Structure 1
Amino acid sequence: MNSESMIELSSQSLFVSFIVLLLAILPIGMAVKSKRVWTSRIGIGVTHLAFLMQLLYFFVRWAAIGHAPVSNMYEFMTFFGIMLIGSTLLIFHLYKQIVVLLFSIPISLIIIGYGSVFTSEASPLIPALQSNWLSVHVITVAISSAILSIAFVTSIIYLVSAMDVDKKTRGARGLEFVMYCLVIVVGFIMSSIIFSFTYDEKIIEFENKGGTVERAIYKMPALFVNDGAKLAHEQTSFGWIELTNSIDAQKLNTIFWAFLFGSVIYLVVRIAARKNISQLIKPLTQKVNPLVMDEITYRAVVIGFPLFSLGGLLFAMIWAHLAWGRFWGWDPKEVWALITWLFYAGLLHLRTTKGWEGNRTAWMAIIGFGLIVFNQVFVNLVIAGLHSYA
Structure 2
Amino acid sequence: MSLYDISNTALVIALFTYIASFVMFTISITGRSFGGAEAGAARSAARGRRAFAVAMIGLGLHLIFFVLRWIANRHIPVSNLFEFMTFLAMMIVVAFAIIYRIYRKPLLGAFATPVAFIILAYAMVFPWEAQPLIPSLNSYWLYIHVTTAATGEAFFAVAFAAGLMYLLRVVDYDAKGRRATLQKAGIEFTLFSVLIVVGFILAAFTFRGMGYEAAFVGQQTVEGQTTEVTVEYTMPPIYSPHGYELVAMDSFLGSERPLMTAPEWMKGVNAGRKLNTAVWSVLFGIALYAILRLAFRKPLGRVIHPRLAGIDPEDIDEITYRAVAIGFPIFTLGALIFAMIWAHIAWNRFWGWDPKEVWALVTWLFYSVYLHLRLGRGWQGNRSAWLAVIGFIVVMFTLIGVNLIIAGLHSYAGV
TM-score calculated relative to the size of structure 2: 0.88
**Within 2, Cα distance between the matches of 1:284 and 1:56?**
35
1:113 and 2:126 matched? no
| Residue 8 of structure 1, aligned match among 5, 22, 25 | 5
Note the alpha carbon deviations across 1:191-247, whole angstroms, 9 max, x for none.
Answer: 00111133124364442565544553321122334432235799xx97731333535
Q: Which residue of 1 aligns with 2:140?
A: 132
**Within 2, Cα distance between the matches of 1:267 and 1:208?**
43
Q: Which residue of 2 aligns with 1:363?
A: 386
1:314 and 2:337 matched? yes
Q: Which residue of 1 aligns with 2:234?
A: 219
Give the % identical residues. Answer: 41
Map 1:156-195; keep pairs closer than 5 Å: 156-167=164-175, 169-195=181-207
Is the CA contact (8 Å cut-off) linking 2:168 and 2:305 kept in structure 1? yes
| Residue 381 of structure 1, aligned match among 386, 392, 404 | 404
Note the alpha carbon deviations across 1:270-303, whole angstroms, 9 max, x for none.
Answer: 1121011111212331121110111111111111
Classify the secondary structure of the residue corresponding to 1:389.
helix
Aligned residues: 385
| Residue 284 of structure 2, aligned match among 255, 258, 261 | 261
Is the CA contact (8 Å cut-off) linking 2:214 and 2:237 kept in structure 1? no
Map 1:193-342; keep pairs closer than 5 Å: 193-198=205-210, 199-202=212-215, 204-207=217-220, 210-211=223-224, 212-213=226-227, 214-231=229-246, 240-242=260-262, 243-244=264-265, 246=267, 248-342=271-365
Q: Which amino acid aligns with 2:260?
A: W
RMSD over aligned CA atoms reads: 2.0
Is the CA contact (8 Å cut-off) linking 1:230 and 1:238 kept in structure 2? no
Q: Which residue of 2 aligns with 1:92?
A: 100
**Within 2, Cα distance between the matches of 1:132 and 1:84?**
23
Q: Which residue of 1 aligns with 2:19?
A: 22
Map 1:14-93; keep pairs closer than 5 Å: 14-33=11-30, 34=33, 35=41, 36=43, 37-93=45-101
Classify the secondary structure of the residue corresponding to 1:294.
helix
Report the alpha carbon displacement of residue 27 of structure 1 after superposing the two structures with TM: 2.5
Taking structure 1 as reference, are residues 263 and 238 closer, same or farther at Cα in structure 2, changes over 3 Å only? Answer: closer
1:123 and 2:135 matched? no
Q: Which amino acid aligns with 1:88?
A: F
Is the CA contact (8 Å cut-off) linking 2:213 and 2:236 kept in structure 1? no
**Within 1, Cα distance between the matches of 2:5 and 2:175?**
50
Q: Which amino acid aligns with 1:334?
A: E
Is the CA contact (8 Å cut-off) linking 1:249 and 1:382 kept in structure 2? no
Taking structure 1 as reference, are residues 342 and 208 closer, same or farther at Cα in structure 2, changes over 3 Å only? Answer: farther
**Within 2, Cα distance between the matches of 1:134 and 1:112?**
22
Is the CA contact (8 Å cut-off) linking 1:206 and 1:230 kept in structure 2? no
Taking structure 1 as reference, are residues 177 and 233 closer, same or farther at Cα in structure 2, changes over 3 Å only? Answer: closer
Q: Which amino acid aligns with 1:347?
A: Y
Note the residue ranges of structure 2 that are not aligned, 5 or more in a row: 34-40, 250-256
Is the CA contact (8 Å cut-off) linking 1:317 and 1:328 kept in structure 2? yes
Q: Which amino acid aligns with 2:233?
A: Y
Note the alpha carbon deviations across 1:334-385, whole angstroms, 9 max, x for none.
Answer: 1111111111111111111111111111001111000000111111101111
Q: Which amino acid aligns with 1:264?
A: A
**Within 1, Cα distance between the matches of 2:259 and 2:134?**
31
Note the residue ranges of structure 1 that are not aligned, 5 or more in a row: none
Larger Rg: 1 or 2? 2
**Within 2, Cα distance between the matches of 1:244 and 1:226?**
11
